């Protein structure tokens, strides 16, 4: 998703979505808020606002 600031500049959204290894963007494609991980506690979770909040089901 592209967010445009008041001055017309691109801005990034402050979150990270974790996906399983192999499910990230195809080679050569950039998805700025998606990170691949093999950590089962992070898969299909999202961190918002510099990790101050998290959403998703975390395994213990």
pLDDT tens, position by position, 36-47: 999 999 998 888
pLDDT recorded at residue 60: 47
Query: Which pLDDT band holds residue 51 (cuts at 50, 70, 90)?
Result: low
Q: Is 60 contained in some domain?
A: no
Name the residue among 24, 10, 17 with its Cα closest to residue 42.
17
Q: Is residue 30 part of a domain?
A: yes
Whole-number pLDDT of residue 39 = 93
Classify residue 49 as exposed, middle or buried by CB count within 10 Å of its CB (0-12, 13-18, 19+).
exposed
Q: Could you give the residue ranges of the DSSP H alpha helices within 5-51?
A: none
Segments forming the whole domain that contains residue 29? 3-55
- pLDDT per residue as tens digits for the range 7-40: 666 666 788 899 999 999 888 888 888 999 999 9
Q: What's the total number of domains in the chain?
A: 1
Indicate whether 29 belongs to any domain. Answer: yes
């Amino acid at each position: 998703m592209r967010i445009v600031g008041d001055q017309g500049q691109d801005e990034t959204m402050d979150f990270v979505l974790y996906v399983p290894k192999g499910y990230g963007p195809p080679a050569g494609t950039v998805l700025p808020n998606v990170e691949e991980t093999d950590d089962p506690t992070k898969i299909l979770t999202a961190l918002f606002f510099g990790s101050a909040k998290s959403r998703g089901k975390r395994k213990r």
